[in-house]
Structure formats: structure tokens, C-alpha cells
Structure 1
Amino acid sequence: MNAFMNFWEHIASWQRMAILLGGMIFFWLVEGHYPLFTFSWKRYKHAGVNLVFLTTTVILNILLGSITILACRWVTDNHFGLLNLFNLPVWANIIIGLLFMDFFAQYAPHYLMHKVKFMWKFHMIHHSDTKVDVTTGTRHHPGEWIFRECFTIIGVYVMGLSIGMYFLYRSVSAIFTHFNHANIRVPLWLDKPISWIFVSPNMHKVHHHYKRPFTDTNYANIFSFWDRLFGTFAYTDPKQLKYGLDVLDGKTDESLGYQLKLPFNKNIKTDY
């Protein structure tokens, strides 16, 4: 296990990018053969719009992600945070680290983005996609990345996350993001048991339903534990779902200019 963590402690940037893109390409190919929904759409055009948002996220991560890395170094050097208080086995640190970072970096900011109006206006871009597939997981306004990374840094300090644990969490979270958003057909007999512990594709699709209350459910990314604990878990047959948002014109979901300006558009009505 020490060798495993040593890999993540020294993982190269190209390796992290390979994991990000490799996972996306893998599920892109799978959903081409086993689609949940057969959309009438230009798949490459749809992906192109969403990948623009991925590009902005990568650029921000390069420019500002160093702040998070500095936080990881500080907590490690000063033995600060919960994981540094106890001499637990490496495997236990990994499980605890992933579980609680799923809360700090995903569940908590995601929940708030559905409850705080100005945060929701940025998060609407993610929900405005009417054809959810693996590329939808990368569809986040640059402003949303800042919200999420601020909460990630809080998690780093509270948990005492090392650089290796941070990179491991990021990679696992990316794979689950691809898995959960992919337009893949997963039978209920398989998907439901997965959702007892992890966030499954069918479970997350509920979150992308076009109107409440389903929109306000299933905020976690890796573990379904947090949604079950806080009463935000929901599950239904994904064939009964409709993607997008009821306050937006679905025809604008591939208009890049419209989407980037959406958080500042005062004509968009919202209940939050």
C-alpha cells in the first residue's frame, strides 16, 4: 500500500490527464454500444460544447490548483487534520479520505449550489444539458469550479490530506463522474445494488431530471452514503426522466455564449 500511495504522491501531470481523458473515452465508447437513451443529436457537436467547459476547468486547475497543493503540503508538514491525528493503516486512510472528501468537495458545495441563488445560477449550466452523457460531467461554468475548489481546500485542512491522497481522490472522483453521467444502459438488478454503497448511473440520472423535487436529490459523486444519511437520496426508473431545466429553453443547451452568460442573465427565473 505504501508503494501505491507513493505512486500518487509523485504522479506526473500527463498521467493524471491520461486518467481523466482515458475514463471519458472509455465510457464514450461504451455508451455508443449500450445507450440508455437514443437521442436525435449530433454527438460530436454536443461533446464539443461540453469539452470547452472542461478546457476552462483544466486551465483554472493549472492556474489556481497550486493553492490546494500548498494546503496539502502545509497540513502534511505540520501534521494537521484528522488523518494525521491517528496512526491508521494506509488502507483505512484511503477509505476515510475518499469518503470525507466526497462530502467536502462534492456533497456540501453541490447541496449549497442548489440552495443559494447566486451559486445556483452558475450551477444551472451543468443542469441545462438536455442530452446527458459522459461529457456532461465536465460541463461546469468556471465560477462553479471556484466554489468547489474552495470547499476542497476546507476538506484538505479538516482531513489533513496529503498530496498523494488529493491526487488519488481527484482521479477516483473523475472516474465516478464519467461513470455516473455516461449515457449507458445499466439493468436495475445491477445498478440498484451498486447504489447501496456508491453513486450509480441510474441514481445520478435522477438528479438531472428537469424539475424538482428530483433535481434536489443525489448530490454526492462517489458514495451514496451522504445522500442516504441526510435524506437527499432518490431512485427511480431512468426511462421516466427528462433532462434539462424547466426554467430554460432546451434549445439553448448547445449555445456556448448563452451558457457562459447564463449566471448573469436576470431574465432567467429561478425558485432558489
Structure 2
Amino acid sequence: MQALLHSLWNNHSTLLQIFLFLGVIILIWVAELHNALVDAKEKWRHSRVNLLFITTALPIQLSLSALVILVSGWVTIHHWGLLYLLPGTTYGWLKYLIAFLLLDFCEYVYHVLMHKTPKFWNFHLIHHSDEEVDVSTTLREHPCETFIRVCFLMVWVFLSGASIGVLLLRQTIQTVANLTAHSNYKIPVKIERICQLLFITPRLHQVHHHFELPYTDCNYGDVFCIWDRLFGTYREMPEEDIKFGVDNYQNYSSSDFKALIQHPFLEKKNK
């Protein structure tokens, strides 16, 4: 175990993931700015609120990621989890694919729970409260949701038996997919139509960010949209009809960072 952690530390995998995340978000942000031809100051005014969530999420993410690595190391050493029920003892390309799909399904389940469990939704609605969804919205996550999300990841890794290699592959693809899905960069309709047969695209995720039900409770997929298609949560709507935000956050400021952090706790007191 110590050798495994030492190797991971030497490879700076966590640091590389952070640089990848920042690099991709900057590229997409600039592409959005060029594509929409909006005023840079106006776009920055919106984005800087979402950027503030890094200050609360990053310490939690980094500290709990160490526990995720420990759990992954343990299941690998002890051959524990659903993946080890499959024939063969080593990770071939087929096992990597199955592991990736399994973790993606787990993220679908997690996302459904964040919407359907009232206590979880109180935190998740902060993400949905953004009234101008763009790539910076990916960062808009309440610190308590960050804690819940990574704890769920530990459970998924423990149950699935996902190795460190699977996690790194998964995190890399998930990073690009999530940032792309939240972007407002206009992909040609014909290309997006093909992509959304299998993947969550910007247009599909924008439907998920529509301000009222039933559209808020649809298109839960993380990388793939196949789970939404299988479980009846797949929806489309005309782009011009989409209105961002969430109906039960109306009359509150969506750009006051302090108020956004406090809101779930104030709502609990009021109830």
C-alpha cells in the first residue's frame, strides 16, 4: 500500500488532474467568449462568482481523494468488488471498459439521488441556481455537495473494485465531458445530434438546467446518456425555450457567494 501511494505521489497524478481541469476550462471559456461575441467584462463578472467555489471545494476534494486512493488500493490488493467476479484476474481493455461503464452508471445514480433526496437537493440546487450556464458553472458546487460526492465515489469504488488506473482514466474523460457539457459553445446541430445518441452533450445538459420540472429531473447522465434512455429520464426541448435557474431559488441572489453557501442551512432552519 505504501509503495502504491508513493508511486502515485511521485507521478503527481492529482496535480496533473488539476492542471488538466484548469487548462480545459480556460480553453472552453475563451472559445465561449469568441463564439458568443459577448462582452469580456460581463462574462468575467458572471464567472468570478463560480470561481470562488474553488476555495471551498478544492481542500475537500484533495483531502478526500487520498481516501479514495486508499479504498482503491485496498480493493485491488484484496480483489474485492463486482469487477473481480468477472473471469480473469488482470485488467484488460474489456475490464477497463466495463469498469468505466459501471462507474458512469454509479454517477447517474448519485445524480438522481442528489435530486430526489430533499437534504441532498438543498445543496445541489446551488449548482442549478446559475442563471447563465457556461463552462464556469461546472465549478458551482456547494462544499457540502463536494463532500457528499466524493464520499459516494468511495462507496462506488469499494463496491465496484475499480483500480487506480480505471479511476485516472475515468477522471480524465469525466473532466473533459463535464466541462464540455456545461459549455455554451455552439456545436453544429448535425454533429451534436449524432453525439447525443450516446453522450451527454451541451444541449442535453442545458435541458437539465431548465428552471422547472419535469426538465430539471432529466438527462442525469455524466458521460453517457444511455442510462437516461434506459430509465426514462431522457428529454429534449427546443433551445429557445430553455430558461436557466431553478424555480425554488427564485427571489434569491444567484450571484452572492456568501448567500449561496448559507442558503441550504437557512432553508433548513425555515423548515
Alignment-mate amino acid for residue 83 of structure 1: L
Q: Where does residue 63 of structure 2 map in the other structure?
A: 63
Partner SS for 2:267: coil
TM-score by length of 2: 0.89
Q: Is the 8 A contact 1:134 1:183 kept in 2?
A: yes
Q: Residues 21, 164 of structure 1: CA spacing in aligned structure 2 closer, same or farther, 3 A cutoff?
A: same
Tell me the amino acid that sits aligned with residue 74 of structure 1. W
- Mapped partners of 1:83, 1:192: distance in 2: 33
Q: CA deviation at 1:98?
A: 1.8
- C-alpha deviations, 1:110-144, integer Å up to 9, x for none? 10111111111100100000000001011110111
Give the distance between the partners of 2:177 and 2:19, measured in 1 at CA.
15
Instruction: Return the offset for 1:27.
Output: 0.9
Identical columns (%)? 34
Instruction: Specify the alignment match of 1:102 in structure 2.
Output: 104
Moved over 4 A (4+): 37-41, 267-270
**Could you tell me the TM-score, scaled by structure 1's length?**
0.88
- Report if aligned partners of 1:244, 1:250 keep a CA contact under 8 Å in 2: no
Match of 2:13 in 1: 12
Matches within 5 A, 1:212-223: 212-223=213-224
Deviation at 1:94? 2.4
- Write the deviation string for residues 224-261 of structure 1: whole angstroms up to 9, x where unpaired: 01111111011122222000012223661110011001
CA distance in 2, matches of 1:201, 1:113: 20
Q: Deviations 1:150-173 (Å, cap 9, x if unpaired)?
A: 221121122211112112211211
Matches within 5 A, 1:1-272: 10-35=11-36, 42-85=42-85, 86-87=87-88, 90-104=92-106, 106-249=107-250, 252-266=253-267
Instruction: Encode CA deviations 1:165-210: one digit per residue, 9 max, x unaligned.
Output: 1122112111111000001112321112111111111011100001
Deviations 1:76-118 (A, max 9, x none): 10011222333276322222222111121x2112101111111
Instruction: Structure 1: state its 5+ residue gaps.
Output: 1-5
Q: Is the CA contact 2:99–2:166 (under 8 Å) kept in the aligned structure 1?
A: yes
Please state which structure has a larger fraction of its residues in helix: 2
Q: CA-atom RMSD, angstroms?
A: 2.6
The amino acid that maps onto 1:196 is: L
Q: SS at the partner of 1:265?
A: helix
| Partner SS state of residue 116, structure 2 | coil
CA distance in 1 between counterparts of 2:183 and 2:241 reads 17
Q: Is the Cα–Cα contact under 8 Å of residues 24 and 134 in structure 1 kept in the other structure?
A: yes
The count of residues paired between Structure 1 and Structure 2 equals: 263
CA distance in 1, matches of 2:129, 2:136: 13
